[in-house]
Chain A
């Protein structure tokens, strides 16, 4: 009983002490946040001078928020001249490391020092181990950007050929990216999707759980929105992990290209060239392919190759569109005569003129009951008869200089004078009783 009473009194004592201490700490934290926000607002509004003096005052009163902002302003060259040395020093000071090099001061300062200096290989402050320590410390506090950066850095290190334990680094990367995603960093979603896709490609998993995350990366504004849209488009095109949908494929590629992503533009150009949804649209394809070729050196070659294909394809289609059939009925009538051993220019040795023997007008040349032999020679569209008659060919109509017309339809010839002729082999039969037969070099009508 006495013991329990003692413990109650003790706990009340601790509570009595802890409450004011907690209240004081909260008040200090709130004050720091207020100051931080105040300077940030000033900088956003372009009031750099005011922000600088406020930061300086805070820094002189040993407030690390002021030190951080001074570092930031030296880095960006706001009100003061840009000075990376000073910027690094202020940020490092604001981060306030302990004996184990773990930052205990301003979180933002620790993050920016790691991001801007410790991770920059060109910087003289490059120190990967320190950067990782800073980022891990920030991640433990729940700093969104630092968590994401830690994930990406771990991922980059795991891909390094000299990495000692790439699997461990990869695990850590996934862990950090998941945390960043949970904190609302949309870019982390895209990386989580890429990592899972890689696993799926290897065959270690059969379905993707990060499609929703990818969709979020496509729909929300972020650094990798164009990349995500392109990747999502390819998923819809291939019909893997999602049902195939070519309309979505094109609309997502359009989104990716319109966000200025070169690979998206290249894919969209190719899609327009192939005619995924409708027949090829060469103008649109050319526009996006030219954009892609200017976007990136790596894409230039692929885009230029596609432009060559486009040019060839467009030319072929133009040729087909403007192609005039060379085979006409009347020509083939003459050809048919050649085939059927009627006399032709080939037999007589004339190579260039399209000659043949026509017996069409023989009936009209049939006089006084005597057969008359007429030889017809064709030059271009003109046919000259040995009896002085002339004919002109237009499509399947033969016009004679005497005014009569003959329409050729298959093996039938209809004259404007009402007489019809039928060709059968090397014989032409007229409805008026005319019979013409070709034998060797002569055509006889009777």
Chain B
């Protein structure tokens, strides 16, 4: 199975989507396909051994994707409500899918970490897609109630 490091197409215009509909709507569209979610996790795992990525950066990437999942799993009682409730059951399921793909990506990244192709092609390519590595807005995260 060949897994491309290019993320799903929904991420290409994510900034416009967020501006237009807000992070919550964007997240629900972006992560509606679980295979895309796996791809994102795998890509994040893969960049662990990139020369320009420090361990702190990597930790931030993982935190960001977990935050995106929180946003995805948040349900609002009414559309105009400021606060929404986190569906933990759904969140942990999504998190397990992502964490699994991250660990697979990490394993593959470890194997490839010294190859020229990885350092000079795959890493820059993956890191040039900021959507995966930047988290949701802090103001949106404050709207989530975790019971």
Residues of A contacting B34 in the complex (Cβ-Cβ under 8 angstroms): 319-320, 323
Interface code A422-440, partner B: CB below 8 Å = 1, 0 otherwise?
Answer: 0111100000000000000
Min CB distance, A26 to chain B, in Å? 60
Asked if B17 is at the interface (CB within 8 A of a chain A CB), the reply is no
Indicate if the CB atoms of A336 and B100 lie closer than 8 Å.
no
Contact residues in B for A280 (Cβ distance below 8 Å):
75, 87, 89
**Chain B residues numbered 1-31 whose CB sits less than 8 Å from any CB in chain A:** 1-3
Residue from B42, B78, B111, B114 with most neighbouring chain A CB atoms (10 Å): B111
Our pick among A277, A323, A339, A411 for the contact of B118 (Cβ within 8 Å) is A339
Cβ of A89 within 8 Å of any chain B Cβ, yes or no, is: no
Once the chains bind, are B76 and A274 in contact (CB under 8 Å)? yes
Chain B residues with Cβ under 8 A from A329's Cβ?
104, 107
B75 contact from A274, A320, A325, A334, Cβ within 8 A? A274
The reply to whether A271 and B77 contact each other, CB–CB distance below 8 Å, is: yes
Q: Does A410 contact B111, Cβ atoms closer than 8 Å?
A: yes
Asked if residues A339 and B1 are in contact (CB atoms below 8 Å), the reply is no
Interface: A346 (CB within 8 A): yes
Q: B136 an interface residue at 8 Å Cβ cutoff?
A: no
Question: How close is A340's CB to chain B, nearest CB, in angstroms?
Answer: 5
Known: A320-B94, A336-B112, A339-B112. A354 touches B1 (CB 8 A): yes
Task: Using known A-B contacts A325-B38, A340-B111, determine if residue A279 contacts B87 with beta carbons closer than 8 Å.
Answer: yes
B32 interfacial by beta-carbon distance below 8 Å? yes
Contacts of A278 in B (CB 8 A): 147
Contact A327 B104 (CB under 8 A): yes
- Report if A317 contacts B (CB, 8 A): yes
Max count, chain A CB within 10 A of own CB: residue among B77, B110, B117: B77
Asked if B84 and A317 make an inter-chain contact with CB atoms under 8 angstroms apart, the answer reads no
A97 at the interface (CB under 8 A from B): no
Number of interface residues of B (CB under 8 A): 37
Chain A 294-326, CB-CB to B under 8 Å as 1, else 0, gives 000000000000000000010011011101011
Any chain B CB within 8 A of the CB of A77? no
Q: State A329–B106 Cα separation when bound (angstroms).
A: 11
Given A323-B34, A410-B110: A332 and B87 interface contact (C-beta under 8 Å): no
Complex Cα gap A273–B76 (Å): 9
Say yes or no for A361: interface residue by CB 8 A criterion.
no
A335 interface neighbour in B3, B88, B118, Cβ under 8 Å = B3
Distance of A33 Cα from B2 Cα, bound (Å): 94
Q: Which of A265-281 contact B (CB under 8 A)?
A: 267, 270-271, 273-280
Interface flag for A338 (CB, 8 Å): yes
Are B2 and A335 in touch, CB under 8 angstroms?
yes
Q: Which residues from chain A contact B32 at a C-beta distance below 8 Å?
A: 316
- In the complex, A290 has a CB within 8 A of chain B: no
CA distance A425 to B114 in the complex (A): 6
Rounded to whole Å, the gap between the CB of A36 and the closest CB of chain B is 51
Question: Does B67 belong to the interface (CB within 8 Å)?
Answer: no
Contact of A327 among B3, B75, B76, B93 (CB under 8 A): B3
Q: Contact at B108–A339, with CB atoms within 8 Å?
A: yes
Interface: B97 (CB within 8 A): yes
Bound Cα distance from A341 to B86, whole angstroms = 44
Are B108 and A326 in touch, CB under 8 angstroms?
A: no
Contact yes or no, A340 B107, CB < 8 A: no
**B112 and A326 contacting across the interface, CB-CB below 8 Å:** no
Residue numbers in B under 8 Å from A275 (CB-CB): 75, 85-87, 147
Q: Could you say which residues of chain A place their CB within 8 Å of the CB of B105?
A: 327
Report B64 CB to chain A, min CB distance, Å. Answer: 20
A336 vs B115: C-alpha distance when bound (angstroms): 11
- The reply on A331 being an interface residue by CB < 8 A is yes
Q: Is the CB of B75 within 8 A of A273?
A: yes
**Does residue B143 face the partner (Cβ distance < 8 Å to A)?**
no
Closest 8 CB pairs of A and B: A331-B1, A279-B89, A320-B93, A336-B111, A274-B75, A327-B104, A274-B77, A270-B77
Beyond the given pairs A274-B75, A332-B1, A335-B1, 9 more chain A to chain B contacts, judged by CB atoms under 8 angstroms and listed by A's residue number, are A271-B77, A276-B77, A317-B90, A323-B34, A327-B3, A331-B1, A339-B117, A339-B122, A354-B2
Which residues of A approach B to under 8 Å, CB–CB? Answer: 267, 270-271, 273-280, 313, 316-317, 319-321, 323, 325-329, 331-336, 338-341, 344, 346, 354, 410-411, 423-426
6 contacts between A and B (CB under 8 A): A275-B75, A317-B89, A332-B1, A336-B111, A339-B122, A410-B107
